[in-house]
């Protein structure tokens, strides 16, 4: 044994010898003793390092290939694709797999008016421009790229600290959402005056707070992304491409909304050049309609005061529903000689201007309720600019506020396309009710006009008026057009919604509703093949009218209901229409109730001015 140990000790260093199997020692010694072909076996450490190097090399090659593919897509910026900069300051949250419809920020769902419609751009300064281009680019990602990124996910190289930080912010944000008021908001109000809609303003303030949280989150995320990029050994371009704003973590559920906000495809004429206004349609009912101009004081009444709508008795109201030669109350009623004005006073020059209008597009802003939004001028033809009157009614307070914000009238009294007409001595203290005057009584304000288009001040017109008239009225022979409601179709539902959101005094709403039920109003049955309307609830922010006798009568009747009961005109629409049809079975009222998605195709929705901003503007004027 001693001899064997001595012989084994004489071997060269590095030779591998099996000491546990003596029978093979001599053979291995003899092989290693051959000086002409020495054989060295690699150690496990060397093998591991070689394998690791090969793995890293393959990883870098794959990473470089992916980076080149992403860089080629970025180079397509000249073709209209915006570059997604990973260092851009974005306020958009994308928990989960960010791009496309999965994991999108819920603000894209409930923005109205605003996202739904993708109409809302009010206070656009809260959104960095790179956010909108990034969102547009995300929608254009190919299916192959989404699969490469993990089903449209981010693939950003976050370290464990970054992942934990993202999870923390995600959990805080979801907890804040749980604290929100679950009360359903009436996102499309029925008119342009929303001074008492506290629910909407609370939602607006909460949305602004969320935007601030989004900004803080984006800064934190930028720091995490930068740390992750610095941790990589190479491929900086690839890291920038992969880390361009995608977030990891659990998916964030979007808010549930009542409708998708999509618009309809509408086949308008390509041009107004060959458009010819039709002659009066012979199928429209013909009768003479006159209006009460002056009311005398009753002898037996000592506390009688003149009213803008007059003092219509229930018997006079019942008789007014007959489509026949008659004289009815329809606003602008004056008291006896020597009585004070009943309101809605206009300058003589403005009255003469309105008498010259053949087609009128009108809106109103009272009580600083909205910003002024000019129709999209690129889509308004020269012919319409010449033949159509664009009239915006407002009070002096609103005009002063607009002037202080830089929107001033020119020498002709215009701001953009709008001819500004200032109304003095408002007939009601409720600004919502004041707004019903130009909304329903266009035939009184524009006595020579043959057609009119009304849009609430929260809407911006995005189609030529002549094409609108041709599409909604002339093409199929209608004399009145209004869209149905986007969600509710029965007056019973509308009553509950108005009371739920405290839109008006509950007792008065109940009185009005009970009165209508006693007079025969029934629940809407969508399955009824003989139903006269596709819905009993309109979305009344956009109305297209021909000033025919039947159309004018309906407008007067609807205004009188709003004046007698509540200014929530959606409650009285169906009752007024059905009663008019019932009273005149042989005289058809050709009303076109079109889909609300068509209204969203031709108008853009904005939010009303915030309540606190209205008050600040009012105080600044004092």
Q: pTM higher than 0.85 for the full model?
A: no
> Which residues, at least 6 apart from 156, have a Cβ–Cβ distance to it below 8 Å?
225, 228, 242, 243, 246, 247, 248
The ranges assigned to domains in the chain are 2-32, 85-242, 289-621
Rounded to 10 degrees, the C-alpha dihedral 137/139/140/144 comes to 120
Write the CB contacts of 512 (distance below 8 Å, at least 6 apart in sequence). 565, 566, 571, 572
Q: What would the pLDDT profile of 197-224 be if each residue is shown by its tens digit?
A: 444 445 545 555 655 565 555 555 555 5
Residue 423: predicted pLDDT? 98
Task: Calculate the alpha carbon distances from 273 to 92, 382, 452, 465, 558 in Å.
Answer: 44, 10, 20, 13, 36
* CA distance linking residue 356 with residue 594, whole number of Å: 30
Contact 396, 426 (CB under 8 A): no
Rg over alpha carbons for the chain, rounded to the nearest Å, is: 36
Residue linked to tokens 């003149």 = 306
* 505/510 Cα distance (integer angstroms): 9
Rounded to an integer, what distance in angstroms lies between the CA atom of residue 203 and that of residue 524? 31
Given the structure tokens 């009360």, which residue do they identify? Answer: 183
Output the pLDDT for position 53: 84
Strand 418-422, strand 459-461: pairing: unpaired
Q: Which residue has the tokens 């009012």?
A: 618
Distance CA 414, CA 39 (A): 98
Distance CA 218, CA 339 (A): 64
- Taking residue 164's Cβ as centre, other Cβ atoms within 10 Å add up to 11
Structure tokens at 539: 């979305």
pLDDT below 50 — which residues of the chain?
A: 1-35, 37, 74, 76-137, 139-159, 179-201, 204, 233-260, 612, 616-622
Instruction: Give pLDDT, residue 615.
Output: 52
């Amino acid at each position: 044994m001693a001899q064997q140990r001595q012989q084994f000790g004489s071997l060269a260093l590095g030779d591998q010898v099996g000491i546990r199997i003596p029978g093979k020692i001599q053979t291995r010694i003899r092989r290693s003793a051959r000086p002409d072909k020495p054989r060295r076996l690699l150690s496990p450490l060397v093998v591991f390092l070689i394998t690791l190097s090969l793995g890293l090399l393959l990883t870098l090659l794959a990473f470089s290939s992916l980076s080149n593919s992403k860089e080629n897509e970025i180079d397509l910026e000249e073709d209209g694709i915006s570059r997604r900069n990973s260092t851009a300051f974005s306020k958009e949250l994308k928990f989960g797999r960010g791009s496309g419809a999965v994991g999108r920020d819920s603000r894209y769902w409930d923005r109205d008016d605003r996202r739904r419609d993708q109409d809302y751009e009010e206070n656009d300064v809260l959104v960095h421009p790179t956010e909108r281009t990034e969102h547009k680019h995300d929608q254009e990602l190919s299916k192959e790229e989404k699969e490469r990124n993990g089903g449209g996910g981010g693939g950003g190289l976050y370290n464990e600290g970054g992942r934990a930080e993202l999870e923390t912010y995600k959990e805080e944000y979801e907890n804040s959402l749980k604290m929100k008021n679950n009360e359903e908001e009436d996102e499309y109000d029925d008119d342009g005056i929303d001074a008492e809609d506290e629910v909407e303003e609370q939602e607006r303030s909460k949305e602004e707070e969320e935007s601030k949280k989004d900004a803080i989150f984006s800064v934190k995320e930028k720091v995490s992304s930068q740390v992750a990029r610095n941790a990589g050994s190479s491929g900086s371009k690839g890291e920038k491409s992969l880390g361009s704003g995608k977030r990891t973590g659990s998916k964030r559920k979007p808010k549930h909304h009542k409708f998708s906000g999509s618009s309809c495809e509408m086949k308008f004429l390509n041009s107004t050049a060959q458009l010819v206004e039709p002659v009066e349609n012979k199928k429209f009912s013909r009768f003479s309609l006159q209006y009460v101009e002056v009311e005398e004081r009753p002898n037996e009444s000592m506390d009688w005061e003149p009213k803008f709508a007059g003092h219509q008795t229930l018997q006079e109201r019942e008789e007014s529903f007959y489509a026949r030669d008659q004289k009815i109350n329809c606003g602008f009623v004056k008291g006896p000689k020597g009585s004070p004005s009943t309101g809605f006073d206009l300058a003589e020059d403005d009255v003469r201007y309105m008498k010259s209008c053949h087609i009128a597009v009108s809106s109103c802003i009272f009580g600083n309720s909205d910003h002024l939004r000019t129709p999209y001028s690129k889509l308004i033809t020269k012919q319409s600019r010449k033949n159509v009157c664009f009239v915006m009614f407002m009070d002096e307070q609103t005009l002063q506020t607009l002037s202080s914000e830089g929107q001033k009238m020119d020498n002709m009294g215009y701001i953009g396309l709008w001819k500004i007409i200032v109304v003095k001595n408002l007939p009601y203290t409720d600004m919502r009710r004041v707004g019903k005057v130009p909304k329903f009584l266009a035939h009184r304000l524009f006595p020579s006009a043959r057609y009119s288009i009304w849009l609430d001040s929260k809407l911006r017109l995005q189609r030529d008026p002549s094409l609108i008239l041709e599409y909604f009225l002339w093409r199929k022979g209608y004399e009145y057009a209004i869209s149905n409601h986007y969600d509710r179709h029965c007056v019973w539902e509308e009553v509950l919604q108005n009371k739920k959101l405290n839109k008006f005094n509950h007792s008065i709403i109940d009185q009005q509703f009970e009165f209508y039920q006693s007079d025969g109003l029934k629940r809407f049955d969508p399955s009824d093949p003989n139903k006269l309307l596709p819905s009993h609830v309109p979305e009344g922010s956009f109305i297209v009218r021909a000033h025919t006798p039947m159309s004018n009568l309906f407008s007067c009747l609807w205004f009188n209901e709003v004046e007698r009961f509540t200014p929530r005109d959606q409650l009285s629409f169906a009752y007024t229409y059905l009663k008019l049809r019932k009273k005149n079975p042989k005289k058809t009222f050709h009303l076109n109730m079109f889909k609300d998605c068509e209204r969203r195709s031709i108008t853009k929705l904005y939010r009303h001015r915030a309540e606190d901003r209205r008050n600040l503007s009012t105080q600044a004027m004092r």
